[in-house]
Every structure is written in structure tokens, then in C-alpha cells.
Amino acid sequence: MSASLSRPRVGVWLIGARGSVATTVVTGCAAVTAGLHPPTGMVTETPPFTDSALPALSDLVFGGHDTVDCPLPKRAEALTAGGVLPPGLTTAVAAELTAADREIRPGGPTPGDTRTEAELIAAFTADIRDFVHRHDLARTVVVNVASTEPASTGGTLPPSTLYALAALRAGCPYINFTPSEGLHHPVAAREALARGLPYAGRDGKTGQTLLRSVLGPMFAQRALNVRAWSGANLLGGGDGAALADPAAAAAKNAGKERVLADTLGAAPEGEVHIDDVPALGDWKTAWDHIAFDGFLGTRMIMQTIWQGCDSALAAPLVLDLARLTARAHEAGLTGPLSELGFYFKDPVGHGPAALGDQYRELVGLGERLRAVEGETRGAPGPRTEATPPTTDGGDPA
């Protein structure tokens, strides 16, 4: 993907860079840039964001960390065989996939890794800074799209937090597209406050919870009493395998339940069950059963079924988030970007839970970025390699 010499280029550093979501992000960005496919699902390509001075898709440069070594072109071929990517597209954007794959560095910790937490963070930070320096990037956004990890226990920092700290120490805005801890860990939360960088998350809202954030307000606004709301998810692929761990599933479900409590005023009875079905690959089915009372206590039921491809649902959101967060960084915004709650199950900051209200806040962010365009566009923004690393005294990192 070539960029005009007159425009600054922006890095997108993906944690889990050889996973299904990351591969679809890189493939999709190349396909849209080349005019091979329209930007379906990308809110940043709609009229409210036309003049918000977001980085062009052609100006994005991809790299990342991963613990697996399957090259991106091979990963894309597998996704094509599974029906996630259209036939022929992998060949058409092979150069872009190969270029991104060259920028993927070994992640960790892996089995047998003897490095300390501080050494891992330092290595990850150095990888990001090297990427920024070699490509002369104006800024880089780090996005976690790795598999869900169980909630941390004891004094050990989870991998997602190691990567989040590396992002902060490299001077990079951070997005947690997963339910993993990331910046939510107290150690990282303190450092995020001190660094003054924009960040967003967590857990991308792509299917079942997206629908819940629409239906929950509907019941509340029509004064219908929801008695119970139960759900089930059938999914395969890496996410299905990761969520077969009860602890990881619990972290995932927390965000699904939060949106109901926030939009209905209280959490109804019922749970969400997640089943790993490897045969489904990257496809998933989400089913909801909603029991509610109508006028005079008449008992009624609504059932919904959502079937979709998680990677294809997530990829345009990741591109949106990278562009919006990069622009927010350029504009000097700091701290939690609550206006990006539109994209998340469990958003940081303080914002509404209903999708319509979240969309209005997102559009408001676009207007805010447009208003400061004259002040920031063309100005030399902060270089992401300029922030020196620090170690908080007394912290395990």
C-alpha cells in the first residue's frame, strides 16, 4: 500500500497479528485501498466522518506481535478456504500481506520463556519503536486482537497487560478489542494515567451484544418488563478454543451482561453459555431467549438468532478504531476515549450503553476532530518513539 509523500503515515501494531481478525484487517485494508471491494461496515467511511481528517487507509502500515509463525499469506489462504475471505483476494493483495508479515515479531511469554516481565515489556517496547523508526511513522496505534485470556490471579501480569505497558512506554495509543485485562490491570491503569495517551476498549461489540444494545433500550423505552434474558453462543476457531476455558468465558460474558444491566436498569435472570464447536471455524451462531411481561401481565417471548463471521464483523471496526484513535492522538486528546463506546461491550470511561446514544457520541467525536483539523493537520505531531521508558517503583513490571 503506497502512500503520498505529502501525508504522514500511521502504524497499526496488532497484538495477535497472525490471527483471523488481524489477517482480515490487513487483507481488507489492502482490498478497499485498491478499490477491489467497498468499505462495507466501516463507519469512518460514512459522511459524518468525511472531513474529520482521519488517516487514509492507504497511509496505514501494519506490524505486530504473535506467538505463532504461520505466515499471513498462508493464514489468508486458510480463511479463504473457510469462506471468510472471497476467492482470489489473497492473491490480489499478496504483496501487502507479505509486507505486513515481515513486520511481525515474536510475542510472549511462550512455554519455556525465561524472560522476566520487565524484560518482556522492554523487548516488546523496542519492537514497536523500531517499527516506528524504520517506517518514519507519525504515530502508531497498538490494537489487541489476540485470543481471550483468563482473568489474572496472584501477582503475575497477564500477557495483555505486558503488551499494553509496552504500548504506553513506546508512546503509543492503545486499543483493547478483547475482554482480556490489558490496561484494566491496576499496574497498567496507573501508568496510563501518567502517560497521558488516548486509549479505548474493551471487547469489540460485533454480534450478540450489538443486538442487545439495541433491544435492551427498546424494552426499557416501551416500559416492557424483561423477566429473563438467556443466551447461547456456538463458535469455533481460535476464539472458540480459548473460550472453552471457563475463566476466559467468564471474562467474555461480563461485558455481555453489563449492557443489559445498563440499558434495562437491572440485570434480568439468565446467563450466556459459550460452546466450542471446532467444525464451525470462524463462524458463530448466537441465540437469545427473552421473556418479558406486557400490559396486564401478559407473558411474551422474543427469540433472536445471529449467524455471522466474527473476523468479517470485527475487521472494519478495528480499522475504524485505529483511524479514530490515531486522529485523536494527533489532536491532543488524552485518557479514555469514551466516545468510542459504540464499538465495545465494556467501554472505558463514562458514556451511554444504548447503541443509538453511543452513535451520537461517536459522531460528536467526529465533529470535534473536524473542528481541530486546522490546528493539527500538517503540524508535527508527537513522535511515538520519543517517550522514554520508565519503571514504576514497587510495581511487579
Task: Return the CATH number at 239.
Answer: 3.30.360.10
Please check whether residues 133 and 199 belong to one and the same domain.
Answer: yes
Please check whether residues 214 and 200 belong to one and the same domain.
Answer: no
Tell me which residue has cell 459524518.
48
Predicted confidence band of residue 70 (pLDDT cuts 50, 70, 90): very high
Predicted confidence band of residue 388 (pLDDT cuts 50, 70, 90): very low
For residues 200-209, average pLDDT: 93
Q: What is the pLDDT of residue 3?
A: 42
Cis-peptide into 202, omega within 30 deg: yes
Q: What is the pLDDT of residue 153?
A: 79
Please check whether residues 152 and 233 belong to one and the same domain.
Answer: no
Do the domain assignments include residue 395? Answer: no
Of 71-75, 77-81, 150-154, 389-393, which gets the smallest average pLDDT?
A: 389-393
Do the domain assignments include residue 396? Answer: no
Of 309, 334, 354, which residue is a domain's last? Answer: 309
Contact 160, 146 (CB under 8 A): yes
For residues 246-253, average pLDDT: 65
Q: What is the pLDDT of residue 377?
A: 46
Please check whether residues 15 and 47 belong to one and the same domain.
Answer: yes
Contact 382, 171 (CB under 8 A): yes
Q: What is the pLDDT of residue 375?
A: 54
Range of the domain at 38: 10-204+312-376
283-293 and 225-235 strand pairing: antiparallel
Please check whether residues 21 and 153 belong to one and the same domain.
Answer: yes
Please check whether residues 31 and 122 belong to one and the same domain.
Answer: yes
Predicted TM-score (pTM) above 0.75 = yes
Please check whether residues 163 and 287 belong to one and the same domain.
Answer: no
Q: Indicate the SS3 state at residue 103.
A: coil
Query: Which domain CATH number covers 145?
Result: 3.40.50.720
What contacts 295, CB < 8 A, 6 or more positions away?
Answer: none
Of 256, 277, 309, which residue is a domain's last? Answer: 309
The total of other beta-carbon atoms located within 10 Å of residue 90's CB is 23
Please check whether residues 119 and 137 belong to one and the same domain.
Answer: yes
Do the domain assignments include residue 389? Answer: no
Please check whether residues 224 and 327 belong to one and the same domain.
Answer: no
For residues 374-389, average pLDDT: 41
Do the domain assignments include residue 5? Answer: no
Is the per-residue pLDDT at 38 higher than 90? Answer: yes
